[in-house]
Amino acid sequence: MKYFLREGERSINMRLRKTVVLALVLLSIVAVGDARLRVNFYASTCPDVESIVRQTVEAKISETIITIASTLRLFFHDCFVEGCDASVLIFSPTGDAEKDAGENQSLAGDGFDTVARAKAAVEDACPGVVSCADVLAIAARDVVVAAGGPGFPVELGRLDGLVSAKGNVAGNLPEPTLNLNQLIAIFRKNNLSTTDIIALSGAHTVGAAHCVHFSNRLQSDPIDPTLNPDYAQELLQECPANADPDAVVQLDPATPFTFDNAYYRNLINGKGLLTSDQVLFTDSISKPTVLKFAKSQSSFFKAFTAAMIKLGRTGVKTGTQGEIRTDCSRFN
């Protein structure tokens, strides 16, 4: 009995040590971050902001599960163009804002609605204090947690940008047909490494893609040889040549609504839906990291949280560079 108690104590102590180490790593990442951002930025001005956003996010997810992927994707698309400044949320009556660009036409309305609801709830509690950019950053973390993914500290203190231009989008978002070198070039603009690319791509463990974004792999002759043959036939059934333009396929055929490392196992099995997914396994530079994340979910979670924190520092607006919008879809 004493032996088993000692073994149990060792197991508990080991888990505690791992938890402490991960916490210290995340805190060190935050500590060396953008000086304009900090955890608990609203501690004195809106102390309940994170719980308010979380409750709104959870309520929205209970209505529709696609809230998870659409909110997370909205954060990515915002940060990659003009930085994390909520510029993608702006509505333009003339159709010339970021969200009007062709690259953003596939953004689901549920993400926009999630942020709008959360911002309204925050405004009720703390009017004119919390930016839309910060609300989106918190919501992006919360949908990951709600899907079973890792929690992490969100640095806050962003202002909302004063520019949202359709013409600024081209060339700044990773396209589904890119190879690894092209992905590296896009991510490098935001100070993100190859490991960050592979970790953030793991967000494709949730969500779906329109047939048009991968039909080139199916309609070629021969069919893309990096596709698992059985998987390719399944995709052809769901996305024939005359497929409905609105038809979508889950990015992760294994666990489409759970944030886990199944995405990387899919890549190993030739079941990466997009070219930009499967290339992470077929390219020798990124393949070892894919294998690592497929084997260890904790390694993936650690890398993903680090990459999300780094991404959240992109293009931060302060001072006269931005404002705190009352309505996220309109400049003040």
At 54 the pLDDT is: 98
Q: With residue 250 as reference, give the H or E element that holds it.
A: strand 248-250
Are 209 and 158 within one domain?
Answer: no
Are 305 and 318 within one domain?
Answer: no
User: What sign for the dihedral angle of Cα 31, 34, 40, 41?
Assistant: positive
Do 167 and 324 touch, CB atoms closer than 8 A? Answer: no
At 5 the pLDDT is: 36
Do 82 and 170 touch, CB atoms closer than 8 A? Answer: no
At 6 the pLDDT is: 42
Are 162 and 196 within one domain?
Answer: no
95 burial (CB, 10 Å; 0-12 / 13-18 / 19+) is: exposed
Per-residue pLDDT of the chain (332 residues; tens, 9 = 90+): 433 334 444 443 444 444 444 444 444 444 444 558 999 999 999 999 999 999 999 999 999 999 999 999 999 999 999 999 999 999 999 999 999 999 998 898 899 999 999 999 999 999 999 999 999 999 999 999 999 999 999 999 999 999 999 999 999 999 999 999 999 999 999 999 999 999 999 999 999 999 999 999 999 889 999 999 999 999 999 999 888 888 999 999 999 999 999 999 999 999 999 999 999 999 999 999 999 999 999 999 999 999 999 999 999 998 899 999 999 999 99
Q: Which two tokens stand for residue 8?
A: 């149990």
At 246 the pLDDT is: 86
CATH number at residue 282: 1.10.420.10
Classify residue 202: in a domain, yes or no.
Answer: yes
Beta 322-323 vs 160-161: how paired, if at all?
antiparallel
CA distance linking residue 29 with residue 87, whole number of Å: 26
At 252 the pLDDT is: 97
Are 259 and 148 within one domain?
Answer: no
Quote the pTM value: 0.89
Q: Which two tokens stand for residue 182?
A: 């092209």
- Torsion on CA atoms 211, 238, 244, 270, rounded to nearest 10: 10
What are the residues whose beta carbons fall under 8 Å from the beta carbon of 15, sequence distance 6 or more?
A: none
CA distance linking residue 48 with residue 64, whole number of Å: 25
SS3 160: strand
CA distance linking residue 326 with residue 319, whole number of Å: 17
Classify residue 89: in a domain, yes or no.
Answer: yes
Classify residue 155: in a domain, yes or no.
Answer: yes
The CA radius of gyration of the chain, in Å to the nearest whole number, is 20
At 34 the pLDDT is: 56
CA-wise closest residue to 262 among 216, 309, 207: 207
Terminal alpha carbon distance of the chain:
68
Are 129 and 201 within one domain?
Answer: no
CATH number at residue 158: 1.10.520.10
Are 252 and 141 within one domain?
Answer: no
Classify residue 179: in a domain, yes or no.
Answer: no
Number of C-beta neighbours around residue 55 at 10 A: 14
At 220 the pLDDT is: 87
Are 318 and 285 within one domain?
Answer: no
Go through 10-35 and write b for each residue having 16 or more CB atoms within 10 A of its CB, e for each that does not: eeeeeeeeeeeebeeebeebbeebbe
Residues marked active site are found at 77
Are 205 and 155 within one domain?
Answer: no
Are 57 and 156 within one domain?
Answer: yes
Classify residue 280: in a domain, yes or no.
Answer: yes
- Ramachandran region of residue 323, left (φ > 0), alpha (ψ -120 to 50) or beta? beta
Are 124 and 104 within one domain?
Answer: yes
- Ramachandran region of residue 255, left (φ > 0), alpha (ψ -120 to 50) or beta? beta
Are 74 and 158 within one domain?
Answer: yes
Classify residue 3: in a domain, yes or no.
Answer: no
pLDDT digits 0-9 by tens, 160-191: 999 999 999 999 999 999 999 999 999 999 99
Do 88 and 77 touch, CB atoms closer than 8 A? Answer: yes
At 56 the pLDDT is: 98
CA distance linking residue 319 with residue 297, whole number of Å: 40
Q: The domain containing residue 262 runs over which residues? A: 192-309
Q: Which two tokens stand for residue 180?
A: 């690894």
